[in-house]
Chain A
């Protein structure tokens, strides 16, 4: 029992202190969104995680706005049943240009390939096409082990 506790603490520390995976590259959406100075639009930002063949049980990412006038107006769950519930965000870390989102699932049906884990709904103003940067702060499997090499990708998605 004692050994188990030590293991948990050790793993937590490892994951928390491990160097963050590299920030993502953004992909273009399939359709074109036009931005103009006086126009406000609402659109989505899709976050994908690729756990490189490992079962993804928990994640935490930070989404930063690198450019543009962007305000988060909602956080939606992902495409896999394990992450379909709306994920949580950290209100203390919440700012206009940054959001930290996390979710976990204690079930056994978990995604192992690239999957959309969250969809962030945003309001875009100011006429500039926004750019985002995502950092995967943690990705862990069902045993709580960090998933080495997991990557995060941002896709600026649907909207008008």
Chain B
């Protein structure tokens, strides 16, 4: 009968609130290496996880039907021992009025994720504290996935929890300022980029602690047989072209307001380490047997049991300076396209859905046409060191996979763009040797004038007899994303862009959207990844035609508001996810029609709406995609005057963060004495593999 109460509330409060409430009932189950009884069988079931070392953990034995994997991150190139590697000393932030060095105001971040199929529910709790002897405002610029549908914000003061209210951004900022200036404890969450957010907490008194909890939903990527969940931990440094002020600036710790940009990230200096650490636990319910689980960048304990798995970040790997990337693979070769729904409790027979559309198997049987490959390499300062070496290794690997009837070009860009040859050249042994020499002579340094690289890569005559692919290798550390994406859209022509994110904490928003705008696909090349494997997968993808010109007949499903509005092309190993609203019940068949080269194909997908798997968060995922679609359109054509209003309306209706909405929470019962005190930014480490001296501009001596 308890369920009746839940159902009652769901009916009354409506889809969005109810979604959140049902999440409340379903506590996130994040088990970390559950202690096993001492009578558990001695042999530890171990599995080799694709080249990763497997070690047993004492006192943590699996039960007979479980496997326990402890996965140590891959042995990559030895970490540099230069002064950029964060040390182990306590980080000290200096309050302007204080003499002694003291810890920073963000103590800990706790992340709990629950993955059901390809939808993730993520709870992030940031624990702020004031270690200083006077009142502070804490400001923390942090990343979240760019498709995160953030729809919950709760501020905790001791035992009391105050749910934040979603408001138009300007109003939320005004409310926060008013509360702050009167001494009230208040918090504000704003979005600076789809993947960069600012958390401000005002009037934290000395010795006091405040928790801020954020909840979001998003969908996992499916990459070459793996579902991939990513949690970014640090905002990488961005290059902002001269004359811009709405970018994301980088400064040294304690140098607030010196970048000239609207948003600033303060970076720890070499040898510094802040006291902020992170704990992270993920529960996966795949619905089918899980075959493998991998943590790409971090040491993690993984516990697999049939269709479920739990992963937890190792206590020894808690410096938040790179993306946490967890992948899982399910048993079986053939994956079927499938629909997930969230029914609308206010409107029987209606709701929201996502469709994951897998490429049909016959794509793999079709040969490719000759290629015209353009490798565009970011050689700006942030790529200095291991990133540029990884990128060069990837291009070398790609060159060896070309056929003699293919042509290629290499372009490198930083302050300007420089190309290997006047025009693409055939992949002859002589030209390949010349290319290798060109790559070897490449060093990194200077600003990231990416627009130059885009123009050089796209603005030249197209060879009609070949398929043109532009491989863009970069960390994406720029602050003018909108300008770059607009240029891609304007100049694309017959090209497809395949973006490769190189590094441990890349700008995934830019890289994903470059590929999306470029009718291609994105891939990530971590500093510990095997560049040859990544390029093998890329050639797998481009060696077969994409399924293009997709049109969908939804059968008896009354479908509306499908996003993205233009169904993207489907490549081998890369399904696409669509989200929309539906009306209808019972069984129907969806037909996806498309072309492979000159051939036409139809993919039927059977759906039973009465029995389709229901998932919390689908409505929020849909709303976030609608907002992203509206924002993308603004890049191409300005979006019209009403665009901010349209985005705001969707965001407010669904209680979602966006560029035009923000969460604010004020505790009217906690009014502190005096002025609001000093604003203290939370300094962060530079991303792993990135150098401090290329991150923070040197101060000019007067």
Contacts and interface: CB of A to CB of B under 8 A. Distances in A.
Interface string A64-92: 00000001111111000000111111111
A90 B4 contact: no
Contacts, number: 153
A138 B179 contact: no
B669 interface: yes
A140 B8 contact: yes
B12 interface: yes
Given A15-B8, A16-B11, A57-B5, A73 B666 contact: yes
A40 B186 CA distance: 15
B158 to A, nearest CB: 12
Nearest to A87: B163
Given A92-B654, A121-B666, A123-B666, A76 B163 contact: yes
Contacts of A94: 165-166, 652, 655
Nearest to B25: A106
A92 B14 contact: yes
Interface in B278-325: none
A123 B163 contact: no
A71 B160 CA distance: 21
Interface in A89-141: 89-94, 100, 102-106, 121-123, 137-138, 140
A23 interface: no
A86 B161 contact: yes
A138 B9 CA distance: 9
B24 A85 contact: yes
A31 to B, nearest CB: 13
A140 B17 CA distance: 18
Interface residues of A, number: 48
Contacts of A159: 668-669
Nearest to B24: A85
Contacts of A144: 1, 4-5, 7-8
A152 to B, nearest CB: 15
Contact of A58 (B5, B16, B24, B654): B5
A73 B13 contact: no
Contacts of A91: 16-17, 151, 166, 652-655
A29 interface: no
B415 interface: no
A149 to B, nearest CB: 18
Contacts of B653: 91-92
B514 interface: no
9 contacts: A8-B7, A16-B12, A73-B165, A73-B664, A92-B16, A138-B12, A142-B5, A144-B8, A159-B669
Interface of A: 8, 11-12, 15-16, 40, 42-44, 57-58, 60, 71-77, 84-94, 100, 102-106, 121-123, 137-138, 140, 142-144, 158-160
